[in-house]
Amino acid sequence: MSGTYLGMPSFPKAAKDAVHNVTLRANLRHATHTIRDKRAKAVAELEDWALLREAGKQIKDHTLRHLDRYLEQLESAVTAAGGTVHWAADAEEANRIVADLVKATGESEVVKVKSMATQEIGLNEALKAEGISAYETDLAELIVQLGDDRPSHILVPAIHRNRAEIRDIFERKMGSWGRPAPDGLSDSPAELAEAARLHLREKFLRAKVGISGANFMVAETGTLVVFESEGNGRMCLTLPETLISVVGIEKVVPGWRDLEVFLQTLPRSSTAERMNPYTSMWTGTADADGPRTFHLVLLDNGRTGTLADEVGRQALRCIRCSACLNVCPVYERAGGHAYGSVYPGPIGAILSPQLRGIQSEIDVSLPYASSLCGACYEVCPVAIDIPEVLLHLREKVVDQGGKGHRLEKTAIKAAGWILDHPAALAAVEKTASGTRGLHPGRPPGAGAWTADRELPELPAQSFRDWWKKNRT
Amino acid sequence: MSTETGSRDRILARIRAAVADAPDAPEAARDYLDSHAPDDPAAILDLLHENLADYRANVHRAGEAELPALVAQLLAAHGARSVAVPDGLPAAWLAAADVVRRTDDGLLTPYELDAVDAVVTGCALAIAETGTIVLDAGPGQGRRALTLVPDLHICVVRAPDQVVASVPQAMPRLDPTRPLTWISGPSATSDIELDRVEGVHGPRTLEVVLLRD
Amino acid sequence: MRVALFVTCVNDALYPATGIATVRLLERLGVVVDFPAAQTCCGQPQFNTGYRRETVPLVRRTARAFEGYEYVVIPSGSCAAMVREHYPKFGETALPARTYELTEFLVDVLGVTDVGAYFPHTVTYHPSCHGLRSLGLGERPRRLLEAVKGLELRELPGAEECCGFGGTFAVKNSDVSAAMGQDKVRGAASTGADVLCGADNSCLMHIGGILRRQDAPQRALHIADILASTEEEPLL
């Protein structure tokens, strides 16, 4: 993944600031609770939700099991329909391919549809280094790009911003990127959306190269699918002469009919709608309709490594709906930036360490960024058992040892010995109870607990002692 | 052998190694419902009407004879003076409208389309449960840019022929080799505080006419 | 009927009153209670922190300690979930099938909801995540509380949201954990209830620790403590 996030502090450190940022907490709480309730209603409309969820899971599992076959089939279908397929083993190679394709058109600017894959590889930065300007056209991505900020949510990258902050960013920054914000811009969402429409329209109309990702690719037909709401996607996919789509290899599904499952589960899980306003489906190039040249860049970048892990591979089922973020109590308080990745929230906590490897400070801490409450698994439309994968990754972190885990391991081993010897346990309990008047209110080392909480008072006797005296 | 060819082979080899010992994963069981709506054309049409309106499309019903006047009235109500006309649109639909017709010869540039006030089209089909109309660039629909750049889209759906109840019923009737655009209400965004606002880049007004055959 | 009580290490060392209440409650309902002395900890803290190898001896010990009992009753949702959900991964399948969380045992096995308790206070109930999602306890705890004489049950806003304890999460991510707990406590305070009740003392240790830090008038109590309370021997 991109170098942008290397050197991120561990999750607890990054989350500490967010937790104490009153504005951020209020923004996140308002947004996540709004969408949470709407999603529950949209899902409750479908009596066969559980069956759709199971079908989605099975389609993805089946595809992943035969991923080589379906990718080869996809490649043939796209090629037959007039497209060109490229394969990129990592971010660097993908960026190289895209930059060369843009340069071959002679253009120095591109318009982009919101895409997780291109964020993951840091495409905008790579293009900038080659003298190519990439304009984000999704409203939230525009807010992030103008604000020189980082995305904090999969669906709503500017979820951490409220309307007043967005108005300020538009007023200050739109002018230096193109058409300035209208005079007297208010903070009503309708006016802000109108400002974005005017600012971006000139870019859409003159665009010669569009760059996108895709939500799905159909192996059988070579069809790519993009779900969106604003119409910026349609603009980028339709008006330019050249279209380049960068898509993770796990986004393929076998057949046309498979889409009927995700067309029902993705919008309801994501924006909590029966259907999102616009979904575009295209197969290669079409005569006199849309781009004359189409390139598909298939991206690995850590996915085959994830596929090799028998527990962790289920993370590749993810359809990027972000329902897990919206229900997560940790995400709600820590915010997306603390996850140090374009993939925040519960899915990010299992996806980022797998795609990047469990090495950096942030990736070692992500599997622990959860209270294991299970709300994420409950809402996941492809039934990714996120708590199960978190536990699995915690085992990997422990197995590789390293900073912070040596001391913990010693303590766990010592406790393990006592717990395996009930007589020793009884003695420890007796000593603790007997000397409880001598214990300081906040014993050393308990700081992480006692900063905001009292410790429980030690009882006069353990249950074990009571039982011995009263029932034997 | 280029680097890319090398990457293709390397990625495929890594996939094969990764799943070599993975358990069998059979094709999906499709136990979900084919439809959630009653098997009654009138009820399905009402559901389509209701769901289109729920996502802020303006919905009208008309017979063939009333259609030209309705289209003319809708264009006038929005102050539209020019209309993009896709190839194959029945001439009668625009017969009563006092507008400049920009017949699409495939050569209208994005800038020219941006100067057109409205577009009138038919569709491939409509899905009642989700309040969706699907365009497939067939006769009377035009290329994708035509229904994207102008700010007003008037779409005529033939009922009951073009109306299906559900997404699973829509799939076999669509041809994936054609460019498809699924439209559920006018363009919208939820990017500001997750509150839905209608009208961003696509047509900000969507008028749907349910045409009785 | 004879059952084995798996009191859990947290209750044994820190909340013996809950263990005692469980014994009195079950005995009052005519159940003979055993306490196999070889029991210690189910292994959940180790397992949830990634120490699978260190979990194994505790799983084996627990499985052996409760061999031969038809019913094993646990007054803790998360420990019951550990046994039910994760012991099969260690090859232990017999114990999970015989393990019951306390409210499950009362409602499903004994078939009672009115256990003859008396508790003249206002109560709000927090359904901890393991009870809610892993065990699917559903309405059982609330039905038991609603049948308690004198007790007025008040709806907890955001009841299904995690309190932020999460085992070692509470110390590894103490800031987020405390923020979650503080929101939980705010919701509980808005009910005006005298008591915040749960079925998991580890969550209540966290919630109660925040209540005491804030000098809040509300008390955190385990459901067993309330169900054991009678007119003859009232708890509060």
Across residues B73-81, what is the average pLDDT? 98
Across residues B72-93, what is the average pLDDT? 97
Q: Taking the C-alpha atoms of B83, B84, B90 and B95 in order, what is their torsion angle to the nearest 10 degrees? A: 20
In this complex, is the C-beta atom of C106 within 8 Å of any C-beta atom belonging to chain A? no
Instruction: Determine phi and psi for A80, rounding to 5 degrees.
Output: -65, -30
Q: Are residues C132 and C35 in the same domain?
A: no
In chain A, the percentage of residues whose pLDDT exceeds 70 is 97
Lowest mean pLDDT among B143-152, B187-196, B204-213: B187-196
Write down the pLDDT at residue A2. 44
**B16 SS3 class:** helix
In this complex, is the C-beta atom of C35 within 8 Å of any C-beta atom belonging to chain A? yes
CB atoms < 10 A from the CB of A422, how many?
18
User: Given an 8 Å threshold on Cβ–Cβ distance, is A72 in contact with B12?
Assistant: yes
Question: Is residue C233 a part of any domain in this protein?
Answer: no
In this complex, is the C-beta atom of C164 within 8 Å of any C-beta atom belonging to chain A? yes
User: Given an 8 Å threshold on Cβ–Cβ distance, is C13 in contact with A378?
Assistant: no
Give the Cα separation of B167 and A264 in Å (integer). 7
Contact in structure between A236 and A207 (CB atoms under 8 Å): yes
Q: Are residues C142 and C180 in the same domain?
A: yes
Q: Are residues C197 and C136 in the same domain?
A: yes
Across residues B183-209, what is the average pLDDT? 90
Q: Are residues C76 and C140 in the same domain?
A: no
Q: pTM of this prediction?
A: 0.96
**A144 SS3 class:** helix
Compute the mean pLDDT over every residue in chain A, rounded to the nearest whole number.
94
Residue A145 has pLDDT above 80, yes or no: yes
Across residues A316-337, what is the average pLDDT? 97
Q: Are residues C6 and C92 in the same domain?
A: yes
A66 neighbourhood in chain B, CB within 8 Å: 19, 25
Task: Band the pLDDT of C34: cuts 50, 70, 90.
Answer: very high
Compute the mean pLDDT over every residue in chain C, rounded to the nearest whole number.
97
Substitution target from B11, B111, B192, B198 for chain A, most A beta carbons within 10 A: B192
Of A396, A432, A462, the CB nearest to C16: A462
User: Given an 8 Å threshold on Cβ–Cβ distance, is A371 in contact with C166?
Assistant: yes
Q: State the total domains in chain C.
A: 2
The CATH number of residue B185's host domain is: 3.40.50.10420
Residues in contact with A192: Cβ distance below 8 Å, sequence separation at least 6, in sequence order? A139, A163, A166, A167, A170, A185, B192
Write down the pLDDT at residue A3. 45
Task: Band the pLDDT of B3: cuts 50, 70, 90.
Answer: low
Q: 3.40.50.10420, 3.30.70.2740, 3.20.20.70, 3.30.70.1380: which CATH number matches A3-303?
A: 3.40.50.10420
Q: State the total domains in chain B.
A: 1
- Please write the tens of the pLDDT for every residue from C132-147: 999 999 999 999 999 9
Residue A6 has pLDDT above 60, yes or no: yes
- Nearest Cα of chain B lies from the Cα of A191 at a distance, in angstroms, of 10
In this complex, is the C-beta atom of A323 within 8 Å of any C-beta atom belonging to chain B? no
Of B148, B184, B203, the CB nearest to A238: B148
Contact in structure between A332 and A19 (CB atoms under 8 Å): no
Across residues A253-275, what is the average pLDDT? 97
Write down the pLDDT at residue A164. 95
Residues in contact with B66: Cβ distance below 8 Å, sequence separation at least 6, in sequence order? none
Q: Are residues C156 and C102 in the same domain?
A: no
Residues in contact with A287: Cβ distance below 8 Å, sequence separation at least 6, in sequence order? none
The CATH number of residue C22's host domain is: 3.40.50
Q: Are residues C61 and C25 in the same domain?
A: yes
For chain A, give every residue range classified as CATH 3.40.50.10420.
3-303
In this complex, is the C-beta atom of A283 within 8 Å of any C-beta atom belonging to chain B? yes
A260 neighbourhood in chain B, CB within 8 Å: 167-168, 170-171
Task: Band the pLDDT of A410: cuts 50, 70, 90.
Answer: confident
Question: Is residue C139 a part of any domain in this protein?
Answer: yes
B32 neighbourhood in chain A, CB within 8 Å: 48, 51-52, 55, 261, 264
The boundaries of the domain holding residue C205 are 122-228
C63 neighbourhood in chain A, CB within 8 Å: none
List chains touching C (3+ CB pairs under 8 A): A
User: Given an 8 Å threshold on Cβ–Cβ distance, is B32 in contact with A48?
Assistant: yes
Beta-sheet strands, E only, within A159-233: 209-212, 216-218, 223-228
Task: Band the pLDDT of B2: cuts 50, 70, 90.
Answer: low
In chain A, the percentage of residues whose pLDDT exceeds 90 is 86
Q: From residue B174, how far is each of A361, B31, B142, B166, C85 by CA, in Å?
A: 49, 22, 16, 13, 45
Write down the pLDDT at residue A419. 87
- Please write the tens of the pLDDT for every residue from A170-202: 999 999 999 999 999 999 999 999 999 999 999
Write down the pLDDT at residue A5. 73
Cis bond upstream, residue C120 (ω within 30): no
Across residues B109-113, what is the average pLDDT? 95
User: Given an 8 Å threshold on Cβ–Cβ distance, is B201 in contact with A89?
Assistant: no
Question: Is residue C91 a part of any domain in this protein?
Answer: yes
Contact in structure between A81 and A224 (CB atoms under 8 Å): no
Residue A92 has pLDDT above 80, yes or no: yes
Of B15, B24, B167, the CB nearest to A68: B15
B55 neighbourhood in chain A, CB within 8 Å: 273-275, 277
In this complex, is the C-beta atom of A226 within 8 Å of any C-beta atom belonging to chain B? no
Give the residue from C79, C109, C139 where a domain finishes.
Answer: C109
- Contact yes or no, A with C (3+ CB pairs under 8 Å): yes
Write down the pLDDT at residue B190. 85
Question: Is residue C235 a part of any domain in this protein?
Answer: no
User: Given an 8 Å threshold on Cβ–Cβ distance, is B202 in contact with A58?
Assistant: no
Q: Is A11 exposed, middle or buried (0-12, 13-18, 19+ CB in 10 A)?
A: buried
Write down the pLDDT at residue C220. 97
Residue C24 has pLDDT above 60, yes or no: yes
Write down the pLDDT at residue A441. 61
Question: Is residue B12 a part of any domain in this protein?
Answer: no
Q: Are residues C13 and C76 in the same domain?
A: yes
Task: Band the pLDDT of B193: cuts 50, 70, 90.
Answer: confident
Residue A442 has pLDDT above 70, yes or no: no
Q: Are residues C130 and C190 in the same domain?
A: yes
Across residues B51-65, what is the average pLDDT? 96
Residue A1 has pLDDT above 50, yes or no: no
Contact in structure between A214 and A226 (CB atoms under 8 Å): yes
Of C39, C133, C170, the CB nearest to A374: C133
Across residues A373-399, what is the average pLDDT? 97
The boundaries of the domain holding residue B186 are 41-212
Across residues A149-155, what is the average pLDDT? 93
Across residues A36-45, what is the average pLDDT? 95
Across residues C35-55, what is the average pLDDT? 96
Q: Which of residues 83-142 of B touch A (CB under 8 A)?
A: 106, 110-111, 114, 127, 129-132, 137
